[in-house]
Structure 1
Amino acid sequence: MSQAQTTATQSTQPTRSAASGLRRTRQRTAVLDSLDRYSTFVSVLELHARMAASGSTVGLTTVYRTLRDLERAGLVDTVREGAGGRLHLRRRAGRHRHYLVCRDCGHGQPVNVDAVARWADRIGRASGFTDLEHTVELSGICAQCRPATEDALRTAGPALAS
């Protein structure tokens, strides 16, 4: 076997990522590569549609399962959207983050995770809880979307009043 064939064979075999403990598979690589193209939170359906449009054969169920695994491994941050769905963003920093997410465009602004952790710890101690875990969801309308939202409310205002 030539050196080129050996290298190609080695690079296609699933390996474990030391950082996440997950096996490196074609599907996980495809999902992570697609997530890397987004700078805002994205839904599973949007992500899958973009992957399919670029020729990926990864199925929708696999995308759901892969995102769940990547979230558990700390490689993806996930927040809930207003309709109850989940939005995903590739984690750029090595640790858990909290975000303030725009309900209109999906832009995620990281918030000070230390302040949130201190607040959660303080609540836990005051309540007598230990081994505390927390989920914090903050959403609003970002500065770029606010003018459009305010215009829409002004336009709809008279119609809502009747």
Structure 2
Amino acid sequence: MSTRRETVRQALNESTGFRSAQDLYADLRSEGSKIGLTTVYRALQALSDSGEIDVLRTDDGEAVYRACITETHHHHLVCRRCGKAVEVEGPAVERWADSVAAQNGFTDITHTVEVFGTCANCAAAH
């Protein structure tokens, strides 16, 4: 693994919640790193492709990333206000995805499911 990729992975390990590439880049630069934004994007893509990090799209379409807590396939509950994310398994989602794919003649499927809402702490604060 490249040193730059490891640098990005370490920054995600030290972060809480999901972070954008721009946020990670700014953090690394403020810590004195000479890493470029393009390198951050490449490292995030490689880490995502290998399943080492989670990636999801926010309501406005921005990709955000975080270190995986579990190595098994999972989905997320994400708070719209604070960004808190909880990893959840979804056997019903898995069965549904397999069924819909089979009904339409698709094989070798993948899927991503993210559920957005307001966490208990944010709901209590308002």
- Taking structure 1 as the reference length, the TM-score comes to 0.71
Q: Which moved more, 1:125-134 or 1:139-148?
A: 125-134
Q: For 1:144 and 1:93, how far apart are their aligned partners in 2? A: 24
Please state if 1:83 is matched with 2:60.
Answer: yes
Give the drift of 1:61.
Answer: 1.1
Mapped contact 2:8–2:43 kept (Cα < 8 A): yes
Contact 1:74–1:95 (8 Å) recurs in 2: no
* CA RMSD of superposed structures (Å): 1.6
Displacement of 1:127 in angstroms is 3.6
* Offset of residue 48 of structure 1: 1.1
Tell me if the contact between 2:77 and 2:116 (Cα under 8 Å) persists in the aligned partners.
Answer: yes
Check whether the contact 1:41–1:89 (CA below 8 A) recurs between aligned residues: yes
- Give aligned-pair identity as a percent: 40
Matched, 1:42 2:19: yes
From 47, 50, 69, the equivalent of 1:70 is 47
Is the CA contact (8 Å cut-off) linking 1:44 and 1:63 kept in structure 2? yes
Alpha-carbon deviation of 1:34? 0.5
Residue 158 of structure 1: aligned partner:
none
Q: Note if contact 1:42-1:89 (Cα within 8 Å) is conserved in structure 2.
A: yes
Gaps of 5+ in 1: 1-23, 152-162
CA distance in 2, matches of 1:66, 1:38: 16
Aligned residue in 2 for 1:97: 74
Work out whether 1:146 is the aligned partner of 2:123.
Answer: yes
Matched residues in 2 for 1:44 and 1:115: separation? 32
Note if 1:117 corresponds to 2:102.
Answer: no
Structure 2: where are the runs of 5+ without partners?
none
8 Å contact kept, 1:40–1:89: yes
How far the C-alpha of 1:78 sits from its partner, in A, is 0.2
Which string of whole-angstrom CA distances, capped at 9 and with x for unpartnered residues, describes residues 38-82 of structure 1?
A: 131111111111111111111111101110111001101100011
> Which residue identity lines up with residue 24 of structure 2 in the other structure?
L
Q: Is 1:101–1:109's contact at 8 Å kept on the other side of the alignment?
A: yes
- Aligned equivalent of 2:110: 133
**In the comparison of the two structures, how many residue pairs are matched?**
126
Q: TM-score, normalised by structure 2?
A: 0.89
- How far the C-alpha of 1:140 sits from its partner, in A, is 1.3
CA contact (8 A) 1:77 1:97 kept: no
The letter for the 2-side match of 1:64 is Y
